[in-house]
Structure 1
Amino acid sequence: MESNSTVSDVDDSSDVVYLCDEMFSFDTISGAFFILIFIFSVAGNCLLLLVLVTYENLKHVTNLFIVNLACSDLIFTFTLPFWAIYYLHHWVFGEFACKLMTAVYIVGLYSSTILLTAMTVDRFILVVLQNWPSNSVKRQRFAMVACVASWVIGTAASLRDAIKVKVEQSDGMSTCEDPSDGHDINLGYYLQVSLLFFLPLAIIVFCYSAILKTVLQDSCRKRYRTIVVVFCLVAAFFICWGPYNILLFITSLYEPKDCDAMEQLEIAYSICRILAYSHCCMNPLLFMHSQNLLCCKKAKKRNRERNISQNASVIQNVTFVAQNSAVMFELHSE
């Protein structure tokens, strides 16, 4: 791959500026994937909400969290067509839409993080702190407070970025970006990601380590099925969003030295971004799969109980017939 480079100051190697004209761009691929993710996410999350509202008890704490998670995923999903058109063409929606979509994007991301953390803490209190004075009413209040807090904190976190992003013109193309200098962007990013991504991750790792230890020590594990569902939701979130946030953290500290390194970093960033955005499709799949597994287990249990009762009836009938036969044989013998 050929690349052109221009040196702005030969005497100072730190001032080298590379102009890479023939870099491979993932923008078209990213835009296409965003459209596909949008279609699957809207269908899956709307179906999930329909199932929860129609067939499930929304007063149940886990269902309450999952409803809010589905709403958070849908809010994030509705920004994807805008970003798809942005990457396929350029930003054509004006500055207000630029600020609004940036805010909605961040609200959807960080509200999901806080909701998953609250779900994990709820499981931790229920399983590990079994003597903790917690009844169903208190748990419902905790869940409602956590849901409200997730939306408030997510909205507050979005204001800074929404205010700073602007639409700028370059070579007849519009961009929706933050025009601040690198140091200001990095400081805000460090604070935001540390408090709203890595801190929740640390809390979740601690809680699930304690939960796993408690479950392995307890011989009765029937009531811990919900833990598996919550764990899968949390794991899917951090598997999807983890590489993206880690790469953003690395790029804030590392500056590519040549065009090849810059291209590789850009490709890795695009792939991690697609993986991160695809998370909004995961929760419906995981929840539906877990419900199917639970239904299958319940059906197998009912069949097993039915077979046991039928076998007991057969044994009773055989015993009754045998006793009658013995009585008739004794009568004939006399």
Structure 2
Amino acid sequence: MNSSVPSSNVSLSPGNVVLHPSWDFDGLVPSVVLSFSFLLGVPGNIAVLIFRPNFQHLSSVSQKLMLNLVVSDLLCLLTLPLWIYSFINIWTFGLVACKLLTFLVYCGIYGSRLTVTALSVQRYLLVVHQKKWTHQTGVTLLLVLLWLVSIILSIHVLVFRQVTTDQNKNICESQYSSEAQWITVLLMEGLVGFTIFFVIVFSYVRLQKKVKRATFFNSPQTSRLITSIIMSLFVFWVPYLFLNLLCAAAIFLHNEDILKHSLTALYTVKALLFVNSCLNPALYAFTSHFFCCKKRSEFSS
């Protein structure tokens, strides 16, 4: 518990699913999940960039947010082949690549989640409060702020990420010099993650209530879409966030048994985070027309 490297074969960073390499069942499952995410997610997000489905129905604000979501998802998905290779074998790309690639994955994950949050709040304001955002300068500032926050939330990996040697194998993982550092990182990720989750859920729950009272919407399809968005966030993100907080509690209480089991669960749960990035095109870009309205006046009930 007092060593600078977690006494487990699992690293703590959400962007790093490259754990201690071992080609067994525990190593095979995350590798398959990551491969699936790459093969499905990269073409799906590139298709959104090229074809821009349903963009003719969207405002320029929604279009920019949608494209920002695609860029964020691609930023982390395009790094997966290197992580899969390192997961199966060893880390051979050096310290700079270890820090930089993990930082890019972090930025992509946070950028994606914050963009989804912005989309949910925008849809909530449009449908529930009939407020349409058209100021282009404000949108640009929003995107700049979004990426600035993503960078700030990701900057700690440049400090803690190291290439270590375990059983003559190089591994890219986080090293903490104290339990306080480890707990702080876990609590920060958990707090930010749950805040984002509750904002999105609140926005879509309120939006769904409005949709049910609006006859001009295709309510069954829109309701199913909203339910799918919330369920995908719950399935892919809540287990990770919960385990982060459980790890922080175990470290604080010096309960090595709970910590060991929690870290083992994170071994596979982290790989599932990337599945959400490959589902985003289906959840947002290809179905965005369900949230379009005929006239602003029609929102009033």
Q: TM-score, normalised by structure 2?
A: 0.75
Mapped partners of 2:168, 2:189: distance in 1: 33
Provide the residue aligned with 2:83 in structure 1.
Answer: 83
Aligned to 2:271: 274
Closer, same or farther in 2 for the Cα pair 1:201/1:87, shift >3 Å?
same
Query: Partners in 2 of 1:122 and 1:227 — Cα distance?
Result: 17
CA distance in 1, matches of 2:139, 2:219: 19
Cα drift, residue 74 of structure 1: 0.3
- Structure-1 residue corresponding to 2:180: 183
Note the alpha carbon deviations across 1:248-301, whole angstroms, 9 max, x for none: 22122234539xx94x5455323322221211210223357537999xxxxxxx
**1:80 Cα deviation from its structure 2 partner:** 1.3
Taking a change above 3 Å as real, the CA distance of residues 164 and 256 of structure 1, as seen in their structure-2 partners, is: closer
**Which residue of the partner structure matches residue 33 of structure 1?**
33
* TM-aligned CA deviation for residue 29 of structure 1: 3.1
**Partner amino acid for 1:29?**
V
SS of 2:170's equivalent in the other structure is: strand
Q: Paired residue for 2:98?
A: 98
Alpha-carbon distance change, 277 to 266 in structure 1, aligned in 2, over 3 angstroms: same
Letter of the structure 1 residue corresponding to residue 129 of structure 2: L
Aligned residue for 2:211? 215
Q: Which has the larger radius of gyration?
A: 1
Three-state SS of the structure 2 residue aligned to 1:69 is helix
Deviates more, 1:166-175 or 1:114-123: 166-175
Deviations 1:275-329 (A, max 9, x none): 21211210223357537999xxxxxxxxxxxxxxxxxxxxxxxxxxxxxxxxxxx
Contact 2:45–2:278 (CA under 8 A) maintained in structure 1: yes
Structure 1 position 142, deviation (Å): 4.4
**Which of 169, 172, 176 is the equivalent residue of 2:168?**
172
For structure 2, the 5+ residue unaligned runs are 1-6, 9-23, 292-301
Aligned to 1:311: none
Deviation at 1:224, TM superposition (A): 11
Deviations 1:171-199 (A, max 9, x none): 311121222133211112212331x3111
Contact 1:38–1:78, Cα closer than 8 Å, also in 2 = yes
The residue identity in structure 1 corresponding to 2:235 is I
In 1, Cα distance between equivalents of 2:227 and 2:204: 8
Shift of 1:73: 0.6
- Does 1:107 find its partner at 2:107? yes
Count how many residue pairs are aligned between Structure 1 and Structure 2: 266
* Aligned residues of 1:123 and 1:227 also touching (Cα < 8 A): no
Task: Please tell me whether residue 236 in structure 1 is matched to residue 232 in structure 2.
Answer: yes
From the superposition, tell whether residues 287 and 73 of structure 1 become closer, same or farther in structure 2 (CA, over 3 Å): same
Identity of aligned pairs, percent?
Answer: 23
Mapped contact 1:79–1:105 kept (Cα < 8 A) = yes
1:160 is aligned to 156
Higher relative contact order structure (alpha carbons within 8 Å, sequence separation ≥ 6):
2
Contact 1:167 1:175 in 2 (8 A): yes
Distance 2:53 2:218 in 1: 26
How far is the alpha carbon of 1:145 from its aligned partner? 3.0
Q: Give the Cα–Cα distance (whole angstroms) in 1 for the partners of residues 231 and 78 of structure 2.
A: 23
Q: Distance in 1 between matches of 2:127 and 2:232?
A: 22
For structure 1, the 5+ residue unaligned runs are: 1-16, 19-23, 295-334
TM-score (norm 1): 0.68
Alignment check: 8 A CA contact 2:86 2:92 kept? yes
Shift of residue 83, structure 1, vs aligned partner: 1.7
Q: Name the counterpart of 1:7.
A: none
Deviation per CA, 1:116-159, whole angstroms, max 9, x where unpaired?
Answer: 111111112112223xxx44523x55443332222111112111
Q: Contact 2:222/2:290 (CA < 8 Å) preserved in 1?
A: no
- Equivalent residue number for residue 295 of structure 2: none
Measure, in 2, the Cα distance between the counterparts of 1:289 and 1:137: 22
The structure richer in helix per residue is 1
Deviation at 1:109, TM superposition (A): 1.0
- Structure 1 Cα separation of the partners of residues 118 and 285 of structure 2: 21
SS in 1 for 2:164: strand
